[in-house]
Amino acid sequence: MLSGKACRLGGRLRSCFETPSARLFISSSNMAKSKFEYVRNFETDDTCLRNCYIVVRLDGRNFHKFAEQHKFTKPNDNRALGLMSRSARSVMEELEDIVIAYGQSDEYSFVFKRTSTWFKRRASKLMTHVASQFSSSYVFYWKEFFGDQPLLYPPGFDGRVVLYPSNRNLRDYLSWRQADCHINNLYNTVFWTLVLKGGLTTAQAEDRLKGTLAADKNEILFTEFDINYNNESALHRKGTALIWEKREETTTKRMKLPNEEEKEVPITRSRRRVEAYHCDIIGDQFWEEHPDILEDDNC
Ligand SMILES: Nc1nc2c(ncn2[C@@H]2O[C@H](COP(=O)(O)OP(=O)(O)OP(=O)(O)O)[C@@H](O)[C@H]2O)c(=O)[nH]1
Ligand SMILES: [Mg+2]
Ligand SMILES: [Mg+2]
């Protein structure tokens, strides 16, 4: 006698029949389909093109308001930036194949290696995993950065996926984000210096900066406030690049060897860790010093 029951195997519903000597599985594709089955075909194929770097960029939703309500310091709040990078580190540690992440303000870009087959390269899976891991980490680690200051409401992050077929394109993408960081930070630094130290209203400061070039802004900071922009915090000027690095870590362990007394023995292990850099990633130096990030263009 065969006894039939539904079993879940590898995520698929199969019919499972047991005989005294064997188990027989009949996959659902061989069974009569329900009349609802056709809706599966409405799912679109969003597989990312092979050989391309997959970039997932997240950006905080309405962080202008979020920053106001949580009293972020102006123009940069190191607690907020620290929390963004802590959350990005959690994404890199929990998800596979991210070779570099770059963040500034309320955004973070995650670059998956071009040969990644994670989640069959399905854009929606990659993006939603990154966005949900990042968002839950942002809430989870909030206290580590903001202490007793409460999180007033759940923050959200939008995500998008962009493919870059060459190392040049990928580097230009990251350069674009770092240039954006520089432009915004220079503007915000002068703007808030004019307001907080120069006594201008926000409207006056906006007027004063209308039509100015980078050189003019540097000049205002230097001549009027004795501030050399290049000496401002690298975290604020350059943003944060997170990459994997191998580090030798030495610990000691108490060990007892045969015919010897128990003693402390040093043990050195090579560990992969996410390291943060606040440096220029537009020029060649960073990429020459970290040749493992990019894959060969001729793959
Ligand atoms: N004071 C302060 N504000 C920050 C800081 N980082 C981000 N912000 C705020 O977050 C905003 C991020 O800009 P956007 O991402 O363009 O704008 P948004 O308000 O998040 O709007 P959407 O992204 O379109 O939802 C900035 O304009 C600031 O108002 C910070 O360190 N300090
Ligand atoms: Mg935003
Ligand atoms: Mg933004």
- Which residues place a Cβ less than 5 A from the ion ligand 3? 59, 105-107
Is residue 100, in this structure, part of any structural domain at all?
yes
23 and 57 in a common domain: no
| Known binding residues for GTP | 59-64, 105-106
Domain that holds residue 130: 53-186
Instruction: Give residue-wise pLDDT tens across range 240-270.
Output: 999 999 988 888 888 888 888 888 888 888 9
Residues 6+ apart with CB under 8 A from 96: 116, 118
Tell me the per-residue pLDDT of 19-62, one tens digit each, with 9 for 90 and over.
Answer: 444 444 444 455 678 999 999 999 999 999 999 999 999 999 99
Of all protein residues, the one whose alpha carbon is nearest to atom 18 of ligand 1 is 62
Provide CB contacts within 8 A for 203, sequence distance 6+. Answer: none
- Domain final position from 168, 186, 204: 186
- Domain finish residue from 186, 221, 239: 186
Scan for tokens 């802590």, then name that residue: 86
pTM of the predicted structure, to 2 decimals: 0.86
The answer to whether residue 94 sits within a structural domain is: yes
Same domain, 22 and 63: no
HSE of 77, CA atoms in CB hemisphere, 13 A: 17
Which of these, 175, 159, 149, 172, lies nearest to 91 by C-alpha position?
Answer: 159
CA distance 226 to 243: 35
Q: How many structural domains compose the chain?
A: 2
| Ligand 1 pocket, Cβ-based, cut-off 6 angstroms | 59-64, 67, 72, 74, 76-77, 80-81, 105-106
CA distance 248 to 293: 19
Show which of 143, 165, 186 is a domain's final residue. 186
In testing the pocket of ligand 1, which one of 64, 83, 177, 236 has its CB within 8 Å of the most ligand atoms?
64
Query: Over 60: is that where the pLDDT of 99 sits?
Result: yes
Mean pLDDT rounded to a whole number for the chain? 90
**Cα–Cα distance, 163 to 183 (Å, whole number):** 25
Cα 15 to Cα 23, 38, 213: the distances in Å are: 10, 20, 70
**What residues are designated binding site?**
59-64, 105-106
